[in-house]
Structure 1
Amino acid sequence: MNLYLGIDTSCYTTSVCLLGEDGRVVRDERRILTVPSGGRGISQSQMVYQHTRNLPELIERLRPALEGSRIGAIGVTHQPRRREDSYMPAFLAGWGCARSLSAMLQVPLYCISHQENHLLAALRPLGTVPADPFTGLHLSGGTTDLLYAVADEEGLSISRIGGTSDISAGQFIDRVGVALGFPFPAGVHLDAMARKGDMDIKGSRVFCRDGEISYSGPESQAQRQIAGGTADSCAMSCWTLKTVWNGLQELLDAGLAGGMDKLVAVGGVMSNGFLRSQLLRYAGRHHVRVILAPDGYSADNASGAAFWALWKERGHL
């Protein structure tokens, strides 16, 4: 039986994944990159160093799944977005590893962007890459983008139709979370704190113009309150998530105005239970079909790259 290997080396996580011929995950191994206490990220050189150390161990963990099987093809992320000017050294670690494995095993190698990987991870459970265009919502530590996507021979051709004009939703959450004393990345910790509070709290209004929203004002407001010692961690966590949703609602309204009827929502921020539930309610009110990644696959992972390798080799499941 052939298995299909995916590799992703992002700014947050080293990820490898094996899919079977039916598209199901056979083995999934990840390691979150280490960030110093109180830090809000690490340098690209540190990312490359950690990925280079992590990849051999994670790939070794795949070995038991290969008993009686072989690698049929490899998919890897080699840049953040599918654009000529999109480059980040962190992806060189995974790309170099994938190229070496492809050459030694004499199997095809398929390169896609990190953004395509996220969207394909959500599409994988459907067992198909849709031929029709769809709207994508990519929410992560460095990205808040509303997208127009359509499949082609190289993956997904993506155009940005809206997003943030300054910091992303993930950066807003991480900066507030770190200021509250949570480890980086702070999303899961802020989410856990918010679950203890009252989500009926009113978040801040988020400015939107021509499909571009801004979280910098609310972030400054939060930082002032935290620095002044007037912020309760639980209430601030609830307020932050509510404010993020206020901004996303503005963004989605712009998508509706452009004819959005099918939405694939991905990225680490979409792991948040409150935001997922709000999005599903919004979609129900506006008759939009929403596709979310399976539990555990909104955050950085390599299943989308593996799925693209499988799709290119088989064309069907």
Structure 2
Amino acid sequence: MTEPTILAIESSCDETSAAVIRGGEVLSNIIATQAVHEKYGGVVPELASRAHQQNIIPVVTEALNKANVTKNELSAVAFTRGPGLLGALLVGSSFAKSLALGLNIPLIDVNHMQAHILAHFIDDPKPNFPFLCLTVSGGHTQIVLVKSHLDMEVIGQTTDDAVGEAFDKTAKMLGLPYPGGPMLDKAAAQGNPKAFEFPVGNMPGYDYSFSGIKTSVLYFLRDRTKENPDFVQENINDICASVQHTLIKTLLKKVVQATKDLGIKEVAIAGGVSANSGLRAALQDYAKRYSWNVYIPAFQYCTDNAGMIAMAAHYQYLAGDFADQYASPDPRMKI
């Protein structure tokens, strides 16, 4: 059997990305970031869709050229079906459908969150099944029991806001530039993580709640700045470190409980927040404490990228899991 060569397209939010994979090896992973959102302090869906339309052909062309692959060598075209912004998803799905139809090759629709998890199979070391994956981003916070490449079960998730939103909204309240999460992480590295205490909702089981910490930070800043108008400026590193410490401790507390309950020592992280240096360091510390084998993806595969879409598509291709031209984007797609 000839090794499948797949072009994958990711357009779920504000990165336009294309990748080529052959036989399970990612040959290229091109990402175009949209700077247009910086002055708004967050992603503007309509502007994201327009930027995807501008970027998609150059990005796909560069991905094919870097991989030294022509369109006629492709075995299939894959795209992110969801979850994500509807307008952004439509750009990627429409392009992928048109290309697959024109080349008369299969179409593969990929779940964005499953792809984040399968990014762990791009490089070594690769996790052993079953493993637990803490999947954390601006839109999702989940603990996923991964039984095989295509068999995953969400065993815990946020009941309101994602942890990535808590990072971003805190950064915005502190006046940090966009993107807020990485800026907060950078400031936290210079601060005292135990300088201030912030409460987080304690949900049953493996679920999370992060709406409360945003409110507590808001009131904390309001009260302290009444006493001292320069409080934020004078204490910003300590505030960032304390909020980050609280969020990470909350995340990993549930993971610890799940590993004990299920008897699993294989633990991974995935999603945009897995690029957070504090979370990566804490996971390594927990690994020593609880004798876990931990898996942390390379930075280029943490944030949204087509390399992870390509890896998911590879396993779907081998399983004969193809889509048709009626596969519409699903902004609320679940694992």
TM above 0.5: yes
- CA offsets 1:189-233 (integer angstroms, 9 cap, x no match): 111222222345455343322122222222112222334343322
**Greater Rg over alpha carbons, structure:** 2
Distance 1:262 1:63, change over 3 A: closer
Distance 1:202 1:182, change over 3 A: closer
User: For residues 67-86 of structure 1, what are the structure 2 equivalents within 5 Å?
Assistant: 67=68, 69=70, 70-80=73-83
Distance 1:273 1:68, change over 3 A: closer
What is the CA distance between 1:13 and its match in structure 2?
Answer: 1.8
Distance 1:186 1:68, change over 3 A: closer
The residue identity in structure 2 corresponding to 1:28 is I
Paired residue secondary structure (2:298): coil
Distance 1:303 1:225, change over 3 A: same
Whole-Å separation in 1 of the counterparts to 2:152 and 2:278: 27
Match of 2:325 in 1: none
Q: Are the aligned partners of 1:23 and 1:310 in contact in 2 as well (CA < 8 Å)?
A: no
**TM superposition score normalised by structure 2:** 0.81
Aligned residue pairs total 305
**TM superposition score normalised by structure 1:** 0.85
The residue identity in structure 2 corresponding to 1:140 is S
Distance 1:149 1:2, change over 3 A: closer
What is the CA distance between 1:53 and its match in structure 2?
Answer: 2.2
Distance 1:38 1:203, change over 3 A: farther
Higher helix share: 2
2:249 aligned with 1:250, yes or no? no
The residue identity in structure 2 corresponding to 1:236 is I
2:162 alignment partner, one of 148, 164, 168: 168
Match of 2:131 in 1: 134
User: For residues 262-273 of structure 1, what are the structure 2 equivalents within 5 Å?
Assistant: 262-273=266-277
Paired residue secondary structure (1:217): helix
Q: Are the aligned partners of 1:29 and 1:61 in contact in 2 as well (CA < 8 Å)?
A: no
The residue identity in structure 2 corresponding to 1:177 is A
1:117 alignment partner, one of 111, 115, 118: 115
2:222 aligned with 1:222, yes or no? no
Distance 1:163 1:201, change over 3 A: farther
Paired residue secondary structure (1:182): coil
Distance 1:126 1:241, change over 3 A: same
Match of 1:90 in 2: 88
The residue identity in structure 2 corresponding to 1:237 is C
Q: Are the aligned partners of 1:79 and 1:91 in contact in 2 as well (CA < 8 Å)?
A: yes
Q: Are the aligned partners of 2:158 and 2:207 in contact in 1 as well (CA < 8 Å)?
A: yes
1:281 alignment partner, one of 281, 285, 288: 285
1:144 alignment partner, one of 112, 118, 141: 141
Distance 1:54 1:213, change over 3 A: same
Paired residue secondary structure (2:303): coil
Q: Are the aligned partners of 1:139 and 1:267 in contact in 2 as well (CA < 8 Å)?
A: yes
Match of 2:50 in 1: 49
Q: Unaligned stretches of 5+ in structure 1? A: 82-86
1:241 alignment partner, one of 218, 239, 244: 244
Q: Unaligned stretches of 5+ in structure 2? A: 320-335
